[in-house]
Structure 1
Amino acid sequence: MSALPEMSPLLETRALSRDFGGLRAVDRVDFSVDPGEIRAIIGPNGAGKTTFVSLVCGRLAPSSGTIIFDGADITALPAHRRVRLGIAYTFQITSVYAQLSVFDNVALAVQRTLADGRSKDPSRGRLRTGVTEALERVGLAGRASLPAGQLAYGHQRLLEVAMGLALKPRLMILDEPTQGLGDGEIENFVALAREIAANATVLLIEHNMDVVMQLADRITVLEAGRVLAEGTPDAIRANEAVQRAYLGGGA
């Protein structure tokens, strides 16, 4: 009986680095995520987490190293080309269009999928349907007509998630998505993240360790721009180096 073929990573980085002057924020990181995985990245403030995912999505260019997405080298691709390939990123600081309605914010993302030909039905009806579906998934359908700037901060974070979902991503990068959410909203987000993972790979940066331990298949711990540890939630919880650097340090 022949062995099953090994699954190729959806995302891989090789010796990825980013320097800011004399500071190395990301230091030769080797990293890979499998299709359909929920991967969490944790670490103390300043560990390089947001810089790392900014390199992956194309907001920053690496100083050295390689980024592979679905077998193709995307290191030199601009951010908008990576979006077309299916990489969506919600920012650590909200980046919604405050003067536009909640509906129109998501419509901009849906229109991008229509223009890229990723929608099977490029009609106006499909635009409205796509927006409504994304808002319903994050619980904001009832606020569709409100200016986005009038939403509470936590709801602006959920609006960003809806905008990401509307892009039909293959890789969804969520940077501190539960920041500003109440306990009940966090529970709803956990359910939503699991739902997203049924159709996409999820890369999660999150300080809420309860959320991380509930959701992550594997966890990567960064410290000073380097990978300190990687493994299952149980393995990371038991790792003494992680406890000293992060979990037990109150960071």
Structure 2
Amino acid sequence: MKPLLIARNLSRNFGGLKAVDMVDFSVNPGEVRAVIGPNGAGKTTLVSLLCGRIEPSSGVIGFNGEDITRVPAHIRVRMGIAYTFQITSIFPNLTVYDNVALAAQRTLTDGRSRKALDASVRDAMLHVGLTERASTPAAALSYGHQRLLEIAMGLALHPRLLILDEPTQGLSDGEIKDFIKLVRDIRKETTVLLIEHNMDVVMRLADRITVMENGRILAEGAPRSIRANAKVQQAYLGTADG
């Protein structure tokens, strides 16, 4: 199986700080891939490089067989990479429907009708359970529903790869349970790259886990092997929540 996303010798320096240091990384089509590590490990910088929010200092990034190393973020969206932020990034004064519609319009072509846009928006809202809140201003949503709205905005792009950065941050136990069900549903159609601190969520969802420390990859493997890895336990799992 050819990887959907691949990075080779990927680095990003901020002055003398090597936030990402010579990382080799790949994501296969159809998998749920998790990236974990302590704060400052380089996780968010890595995914920012992958989605084009920042440029690498060195290295190569490929997506679906194409070199996207210098491709701008908005073009990567059209190519099929959607990224939800660690902190909610919504338009608070717009309704749920309009937030999702704005996202969907980023992939519209001249040949797509208003009817097709409406269908795309409603399908995304249905996926995350926000259909009944379509006319609700985003600012009036609970924090958990705002996170779901952001995922709906990502799904409306019909991505081949959906990157979720700390999606369960601030969610209640019940909302986390619903999120796990949601990702299991999403993976039927979309490859998922998950950056997450909640180890219970990671172990229940991920096919493979990448552990980062100090900008480098410390370990990779299936959940069981990662849980049993002594280096991972010392660097992260022993002090992680859950």
TM range (shorter): over 0.9
**Residue in structure 1 matched with residue 46 of structure 2 by the alignment:** 52
Q: Which runs of 5+ in 1 are unaligned?
A: 1-6
Superposed displacement of residue 29, structure 1: 0.4
Match of 1:159 among 149, 154, 162: 149
**Residue in structure 2 matched with residue 222 of structure 1 by the alignment:** 212
Superposed displacement of residue 111, structure 1: 1.6
**Residue in structure 2 matched with residue 27 of structure 1 by the alignment:** 21
Could you tell me which amino acid in structure 2 is paired with residue 10 of structure 1? L
Distance 1:137 1:243, change over 3 A: same
**Residue in structure 2 matched with residue 3 of structure 1 by the alignment:** none
What SS does the aligned partner of 1:248 have? helix
Identity of aligned residues (%): 69
Q: Is the 1:84–1:116 contact (alpha carbons within 8 Å) kept by the matching residues of 2?
A: no
Match of 2:77 among 65, 78, 83: 83
TM-score by length of 1: 0.93
**Residue in structure 2 matched with residue 4 of structure 1 by the alignment:** none
1:170 aligns with 2:164: no
Q: Determine the C-alpha separation between the residues in 1 that align with 2:157 and 2:15.
A: 34
Superposed displacement of residue 152, structure 1: 1.8
Could you tell me which amino acid in structure 2 is paired with residue 243 of structure 1? Q
Q: Determine the C-alpha separation between the residues in 1 that align with 2:66 and 2:107.
A: 21
Q: Determine the C-alpha separation between the residues in 1 that align with 2:96 and 2:82.
A: 18
Q: In the comparison of the two structures, how many residue pairs are matched?
A: 241
TM-score by length of 2: 0.96
Superposed displacement of residue 116, structure 1: 7.4
1:115 aligns with 2:109: yes
Q: Note the aligned Cα RMSD (angstroms).
A: 1.2
Could you tell me which amino acid in structure 2 is paired with residue 172 of structure 1? L
Q: Which runs of 5+ in 2 are unaligned?
A: none
Superposed displacement of residue 179, structure 1: 1.5
**Larger displacement relative to structure 2 (134-143 or 233-242):** 134-143
